[in-house]
Amino acid sequence: MNRRKIGVYVCHCGGNISDYVDVEKVVDAVKDEEDVVVARTAMFTCSDATQQEIYDDIRELGLDGLVVASCSPKLHTFTFRGVAKRAGLNPFQYTQVNVREQCSWAHTDDRQGATEKALRLVRAGIARTRLLRPLEPTVVETVPKTLVIGAGIAGLRAAIGLADIGLSVVVVEREAEVGGWVKDFGPMYPRDKEGRELVRQLEAKVRQRENIALFTSAEVVRKAGSFGDYVVDIKTHGKSSMTMQIHVGSITVATGFDSYQPEEGEYGYGIDGVVTLPEYKKMLDAAEGSLEYHGRPVKDVAYIYCVGSRQGDDGPHQYCSRFCCSAAVHSALELYTRDPSARQFHLYRDMRTYGRYELMYRESREKGSTYLKFAEDEPPAVRKGADGRLVVTIRDQLTGQKEVEIPADLVVLVTGMVPRENDALVGALKLPVGRDGFFNEIHPKLRPVETVVDGVTICGACQFPKNASESVASGLAAVTQSAAMLKQGRAELDPQVASVDPQLCTDCGVCYATCPYDAISPQEGHEGRRVAVIDPATCKGCGGCAPVCPERAINLEGYTQAQIKAMIEGLAREVV
């Protein structure tokens, strides 16, 4: 076998790595390894200057393998693939070694151990790189059509955007009407435009466009095919129940959220006069003048914030729901427009009326709203008073820790957003669900609407709590991303996928069930035998099938049986 020419770059990460890993020692230990022709450290490997240095090395030394030992491959795989590609090296002849998350950050108490581990990982990376071969991306033709699931404000706006950019759009809505939550809303912040009016406008625009097909009372029941040409089964309910099959190039998920439903007794929920934020909004939107509840006038309103949000380490909803502070403050302002003499008390843990919504917070105080702060471990309590009115008790952090009783005609539990139950859809689309139950993007900053499933984007509040503006903004981001994927008419897929050696395959069937993407199927006709075949466009390269094959007939490109063996040898070698 010809000798390889491998370049190794070990990153300081400005101290993030080099404070706990002796990067110079790692470089010293590998610079004379077989096939390594250059090994260096860099303060920031991802910097333009070091990228240029790698570029020059590839060109001048004719490198045919690249090892970068820095941070997680989640962060910079595409950065260094790009460097390789620009310099004329096949981008798949590069290995990312993670010596930050796996070494320096994990072993801050053990500099020597962290350094040894880094060295072993780098050696494994070199071993893998030695056996890498150039790969070309799989090219697929794309269908110029997008499926939008969910016709709330984000889905509707996305559908219009997609249609106007020249793609065909199919919108599927589970409910009988479009508009989601917003269709029932009155004035919304900022600017107090009515939600129902916004939805009316969007629906009219959707109906004007000939390249949008809208199905209500309909659900996605199955997805097959692969990115560029997904085959989706849609089932409609009601009088004309039917199932139809469509071909789409990409899918945008905008299935929205559910509102947190407090348990009986949680902050007095269940007592007459204790309502959730959506219930309160409905009352406000319906009220002409001052507010009434069950025939009684409402003069004193107490709001309790963070109900169903920020539940601590044990709760299912540990996150801040983001929109609710602003929504509650806006509701308070809405009440003032109906009844300027209403008295409003806001019991909060932290006010987060971010950005320009801070102005609403200020306005509410100027109009007389009083804010009281409670501690996480001492939440306010709600009970029915002797006179039949409600009583809220709070230890107010802003009044010298004094316990205060607040009489109220209405207690509003400012409930947050929770992920919507969507198990069937998650199953059909293989959507990635985060620990909080919302759908996950690939990268919160750089790839905010794409998912790990190629061609499937997410937007709106199915991703995380968002207000209407943010939902629409993400919907339009999904439009751009879908258009970027489909407008070229072809797409390049990662070629690091698994394949079956038909000579070794015995059609035992173990791998079929292992694949989470349904990429493996039996095919007749290999020298008269039936064997397993993996569709390279559907395979995500997860590697789940390779280890279960009893014949070792499956190899994952980039992580072949031979490479894994070589990496283990690299890891296990004595550290001198």
Does residue 190 have a cis peptide bond before it, meaning omega lies within 30 degrees of 0? yes
Instruction: Note whether 56 binds other proteins by CB under 8 A.
Output: no
Nearer to other proteins, 368 or 489 (CB): 368
Among 193, 343, 389, 420, binds other proteins (CB under 8 A): 343
Among 371, 374, 438, 439, binds other proteins (CB under 8 A): 371
Question: Is 42 in contact with 53 (CB distance < 8 Å)?
Answer: yes
DSSP 412: E
Site for other proteins in 245-304 (CB under 8 A): 299-300
Backbone angles phi and psi of 135, in degrees to 5: -125, 150
| CB-neighbour burial class of residue 459 (10 A; exposed 0-12, middle 13-18, buried 19+) | buried
Nearer to other proteins, 14 or 385 (CB): 385
Give the largest CA-CA distance in the chain. 92
Q: Smallest Cα–Cα separation from 303: which of 343, 347, 272?
A: 347
Instruction: Note whether 370 binds other proteins by CB under 8 A.
Output: yes
Quick one: which segment of 195-203, 282-290, 358-366, 433-441 binds other proteins (CB under 8 A)? 358-366
| CB-neighbour burial class of residue 135 (10 A; exposed 0-12, middle 13-18, buried 19+) | middle
Question: Is 174 in contact with 182 (CB distance < 8 Å)?
Answer: no
In the bound complex, what is the minimum distance in angstroms from residue 306's beta carbon to other proteins? 18
Q: Between the CA of residue 365 and those of 284, 329, 340, 358, what are the distances in Å?
A: 19, 10, 13, 11
Instruction: Note whether 398 binds other proteins by CB under 8 A.
Output: yes
In the bound complex, what is the minimum distance in angstroms from residue 268's beta carbon to other proteins? 17
What is the C-alpha to C-alpha distance for residues 381 and 488, in angstroms, rounded to an integer? 59
**How many CA atoms lie within 13 Å of 105's alpha carbon, on the beta-carbon side?**
10
DSSP characters over 226-261: ETTEEEEEEEE-STT-EEEEEEESEEEE---EEE--
Nearer to other proteins, 193 or 395 (CB): 395
Residue type, 521: S
Instruction: Note whether 402 binds other proteins by CB under 8 A.
Output: yes
**How many CA atoms lie within 13 Å of 274's alpha carbon, on the beta-carbon side?**
24
Backbone angles phi and psi of 62, in degrees to 5: 65, 40
What is the C-alpha to C-alpha distance for residues 304 and 275, in angstroms, rounded to an integer? 10
Burial 341-352 (b: 16+ CB within 10 A, else e): ebbbbbbbbebb
Site for other proteins in 128-157 (CB under 8 A): none
540 alpha carbon, distance to own chain's centre = 18
Instruction: Note whether 407 binds other proteins by CB under 8 A.
Output: yes
In the bound complex, what is the minimum distance in angstroms from residue 349's beta carbon to other proteins? 14
Among 74, 237, 362, 383, binds other proteins (CB under 8 A): 362
Q: Strand pairing of 242-248 and 36-42?
A: unpaired
Quick one: which segment of 110-118, 192-200, 402-410, 558-566 binds other proteins (CB under 8 A)? 402-410
Quick one: which segment of 19-27, 172-180, 258-266, 360-368 binds other proteins (CB under 8 A)? 360-368
In the bound complex, what is the minimum distance in angstroms from residue 359's beta carbon to other proteins? 12
Nearer to other proteins, 383 or 573 (CB): 383
In the bound complex, what is the minimum distance in angstroms from residue 18's beta carbon to other proteins? 41
Nearer to other proteins, 235 or 299 (CB): 299
In the bound complex, what is the minimum distance in angstroms from residue 365's beta carbon to other proteins? 5
Question: Is 190 in contact with 357 (CB distance < 8 Å)?
Answer: yes
In the bound complex, what is the minimum distance in angstroms from residue 43's beta carbon to other proteins? 41
Instruction: Note whether 365 binds other proteins by CB under 8 A.
Output: yes
Instruction: Note whether 350 binds other proteins by CB under 8 A.
Output: no
In the bound complex, what is the minimum distance in angstroms from residue 292's beta carbon to other proteins? 18
In the bound complex, what is the minimum distance in angstroms from residue 412's beta carbon to other proteins? 16
Among 403, 492, 551, 569, binds other proteins (CB under 8 A): 403
Question: Is 119 in contact with 148 (CB distance < 8 Å)?
Answer: no
Quick one: which segment of 99-107, 375-383, 392-400, 551-559 binds other proteins (CB under 8 A)? 392-400
Nearer to other proteins, 366 or 524 (CB): 366
Instruction: Note whether 399 binds other proteins by CB under 8 A.
Output: yes
Q: Smallest Cα–Cα separation from 484: which of 213, 42, 144?
A: 144
In the bound complex, what is the minimum distance in angstroms from residue 352's beta carbon to other proteins? 13
Instruction: Note whether 359 binds other proteins by CB under 8 A.
Output: no
Quick one: which segment of 83-91, 94-102, 371-379, 477-485 binds other proteins (CB under 8 A)? 371-379
208, two tokens: 């004007």
Quick one: which segment of 45-53, 210-218, 394-402, 541-549 binds other proteins (CB under 8 A)? 394-402
Among 366, 387, 524, 527, binds other proteins (CB under 8 A): 366
Q: Strand pairing of 554-556 and 498-500?
A: antiparallel
Cβ-based neighbour number of residue 562 at 10 Å: 13
What is the C-alpha to C-alpha distance for residues 394 and 373, in angstroms, rounded to an integer? 8
Cβ neighbors of 541 (< 8 A, separation 6 or more) are 494, 496, 497, 498, 556, 557, 558
Quick one: which segment of 87-95, 243-251, 325-333, 390-398 binds other proteins (CB under 8 A)? 390-398
Q: How many residues bind other proteins (CB under 8 A)?
A: 25
In the bound complex, what is the minimum distance in angstroms from residue 303's beta carbon to other proteins? 14
Each residue 301-340 as x (binds other proteins by CB under 8 A) or -, in order, gives: ----------------------------------------
Quick one: which segment of 38-46, 200-208, 330-338, 405-413 binds other proteins (CB under 8 A)? 405-413
Among 104, 369, 422, 463, binds other proteins (CB under 8 A): 369
Among 9, 269, 323, 345, binds other proteins (CB under 8 A): 345
In the bound complex, what is the minimum distance in angstroms from residue 310's beta carbon to other proteins? 20
**How many CA atoms lie within 13 Å of 528's alpha carbon, on the beta-carbon side?**
0
Which residues form the interface with other proteins (CB under 8 A)? Answer: 299-300, 343, 345, 362, 365-373, 393, 396, 398-400, 402-407
